[in-house]
Chain A
Amino acid sequence: MATFKIVALSLFSMLLVLSLGLVALTAAPQDLGKLPRSSVRIDGSSTVYPITEAVAEDFSKVAPQVNVTIGMSGTGGGFKRFCVGEIDISNASRSIKKTEADHAAVAKIEFIELPIAYDGLTIVTHPSNTFVDRLTVDQIKKIFSATGGVKTWKDVNPAWPEKTITVFSPGTDSGTFDYFREVTVGKDGKMRSDMTVSEDDNVLVTGVAGDPNAIGFFGCAYYFENKDKVRAIPIVNSKGAAVLPSHDTVTAGAYEPFSRPLFIYVNRKAADRPEVDAFVRFYLEKAPKLAEEVGYIALPESVYGTAMTNWKARRTGTQFLDASGNPVHGPVTTTYK
């Protein structure tokens, strides 16, 4: 009994010391800012997620009392929560759709639209796959559409081997998916149904990296972060050149048709809260640097200036839908004023 007591006491005291040490380490006094203890709720695109995460991380160093939580439900999922007022900011890898704008109007929610970066949507395959040296938009359409009937690489190009293609794609709630579908098979077209689907682009990277016959697509940040694991396929643009996504090709407009702007949409009522205002200003200031750091491409300086002006003026509504509710394409500098 005596030994039992000794051992129990010593184990207990060790645990006590350890936990006290832990408490002392983690309960260090925090920086006090002028902002109140509050939270900012963000959800939406997994493409935009890395940028928002980087901004939130740096922001929390400056204002640790503001709790920024970010989800990854996909652009569509984020908009659904945005349009019922569940979140303050929606990450979007495409502009808002007419149906979503109508839902917001019905719920009496006004939104402020802010473009924050360029993405060169990248189509990737396994590094051991060397025969796919380029793809045209038609070939991509054939592979991904429900009516293309493509099962093996040979169906796309007779010179390629007869190996079954494994397709990885973001899910229907993803803005990347919407954008890709619109560009390849058209707004009303249907994509094939036997794809591995995930809202989390990390899962897609792992999937493509593990399967020699895989093909997938996601935002270019995920490609640049995992260049050792996946290989980007050059896309033939309208001038006939096969182009890989990079900072220069996207900025110059040579990587097409898969260059697109990324957005955040902010709830107008939330904009009145000081923490949201501070966060969005911080976002627009840091976005050029952080977007590049994360792997995306910064927009021209003038666009960020316009965005800040619009933010300060609290300009609501979208400029990326035309009168009949169709999305507007073209350079951001001309569309966004």
Chain B
Amino acid sequence: MSLLAVRAAAAAAAEAANRGKIRSRAVRALSDRTMRFLLFCAALFSIVTTFAIILVLLVETVKFFSISYAAPLAITQGDTIASIEAAHGDAEVLAPMNHGIWPPTTLDPGSFVNVPTTPSVVDFLFGTRWEPLLGAERHFGILPLVAGTVMVTVIAAIFAMPIGLITAIFLSEYARPRTRAILKPILEVLAGIPTVVYGFFALMVITPYGLQAPSRFLTGLMLDLGILRPDPIDPGPSAIFGGFNAMGAGLAVGIMILPIVSSLSEDALRAVPRSLRDAAYGLGCTRFDVSTRVVVPAALSGITASFLLAMARAIGETMIVALAAGGLAQLTLNPADQMQTMTAYMVQIFLGDAPAFSVEYQSSFAVASVLFVMTLSMAVLGSIILRRFREEYE
């Protein structure tokens, strides 16, 4: 190695000499300093990007909370136009609903007027109805969208984490080098497939053949065996899962993050020094004992970091859920229902479902902020765990 170094260094020096241009020390120092500065600017670009993300999301979210839109307010006994206007910050009361004449001569209790309202932060963060586009009232409670995201992520995690971890253990502890050489590229291929393809797969293969067909088979079986009573109107076997459902999308997201979990966990497992393993083998442990009691606990911080990173990726996944999970934002625990995730809602808005610069349009930025905070905290948590709890054995 050192011979190589000397040879290479000598070649560089000789090349400079042959060019007849051994530059003066000052010139070299200047070019060194210039390049250093340029490279520093390039490195700053990443900081600029982060600041740009935070700034843009912050500005647009603030805009969201300050746009006023017309929300109905029920009229109770004793309300007058003046009192309503005073109560709502002197804002002008807009046209009433269910009345034909304006200005109204009487305000009947039980009817409604529209008052300008701005979305409130508390309602946004803790509200349970997300109905920004339709309906008698507009609701901007983000919990249904968060529930959709969490449901899809949890299904993906339940699928990907055990299989990914076991695959990683297999690759690092059990597999021969030849098997590794074949399997690793296969997993990398899985990692490189675009997410649109997984969305298509969820819609066309997972839902009809993986979920609906087995459900029909099982319910048909249960009907035949008498476990299920047949429905009087629709007595055949039921598919249980609708065309859009959270389960199919969740499984597709799980397939997508499987290679992330397995390759990062495998890196963490291989970083554990051989001496630990050898000592355990020397005591007569089987491979299983070594893997589960020695290697995995030693690499636990890396494995946890890989789980968190994979979950961050799953939370931010867009195309799969846009194609397969559905468009109804509802707070439900049933994975057979369709659920709208945060990213799917943003796609719906940006594909033109709302006029530009209106409150619905701005709501997608607010949702993006929440999404960003969620993924950022997972990534930061992952790096903290990695740095703090990593076991060093040197």
Contacts and interface: CB of A to CB of B under 8 A. Distances in A.
A172 interface: yes
Interface string A171-185: 111000000000000
B231 A173 contact: no
B328 A194 contact: yes
Contact of A77 (B97, B135, B231, B352): B352
A72 interface: yes
B351 interface: yes
A209 B243 contact: yes
A190 B136 contact: yes
A86 B327 CA distance: 29
A135 interface: no
Interface stretch (A196-204, A254-262, A271-279, A294-302): A196-204
Given A198-B348, A206-B244, A191 B355 contact: no
A80 B243 contact: no
Interface string B83-110: 0000000000000011000000000000
A194 B330 contact: yes
Nearest to B99: A188
B234 interface: yes
A171 B361 CA distance: 14
A203 to B, nearest CB: 7
B233 interface: yes
A332 interface: no
Contacts of A120: none
A74 B231 CA distance: 40
A210 interface: yes
B355 A146 contact: no
Chain B interface bracket (under 10, 10 to 19, 20 to 34, 35 or more)? 20 to 34
A286 interface: no
Interface in B332-375: 338, 348, 351-356
B232 A196 contact: no
B328 A196 contact: yes
Given A72-B352, A77-B355, A197-B327, A192 B232 contact: no
Contacts of B242: 166, 210-211
Contact of B135 (A74, A146, A160): A146
A64 interface: no
Contact of A200 (B330, B351, B354): B351
B98 A171 contact: no
Contacts of B239: 212
A161 B98 CA distance: 34
A85 interface: no
Given A196-B327, A206-B243, A209-B243, A172 B133 contact: yes
B353 A197 contact: yes
B134 interface: yes
A128 interface: yes
B97 A188 contact: yes
B355 A173 contact: yes
Nearest to A131: B233
Contacts of B98: 188
A196 B136 contact: no
A245 interface: no
A195 interface: yes
Contacts of B173: none
A288 interface: no
A115 interface: no
B131 A193 contact: yes
Contact of A199 (B129, B231, B326, B351): B351
B352 A212 contact: no
A194 B352 contact: no
A190 B234 contact: no
Given A161-B231, A173-B355, A193 B135 contact: yes
A209 B134 CA distance: 23
A173 B354 contact: yes
Nearest to A78: B352
Nearest to A205: B243
A80 B361 CA distance: 14
B244 A161 contact: no
A172 B133 CA distance: 7
A73 B352 contact: yes
Nearest to B326: A196
B10 to A, nearest CB: 22
Contacts of A74: 352-353
A196 B355 contact: no
A77 B355 CA distance: 6
Interface in B192-211: 207
Nearest to B242: A211
A161 B327 contact: no
Contact of B134 (A77, A160, A193): A193
A126 B338 CA distance: 16
Most chain A beta-carbon contacts within 10 A, residue among B137, B243, B356: B243
A188 B139 CA distance: 19
Interface of A: 43, 71-74, 76-77, 80, 128, 131, 146, 160-161, 163, 166, 169, 171-173, 188, 190-200, 203, 206-207, 209-212
Given A166-B328, A198-B348, 12 more contacts: A43-B352, A77-B354, A128-B234, A161-B231, A161-B232, A161-B233, A173-B355, A188-B97, A193-B139, A197-B353, A210-B207, A210-B243
13 contacts: A43-B352, A73-B353, A131-B233, A161-B231, A173-B352, A190-B136, A193-B136, A198-B348, A200-B351, A203-B327, A207-B244, A209-B243, A211-B244
Which 9 A-B pairs rank lowest in CB-CB distance, beginning with the nearest?
A: A210-B243, A193-B135, A73-B352, A161-B233, A190-B136, A196-B328, A193-B131, A211-B242, A146-B136
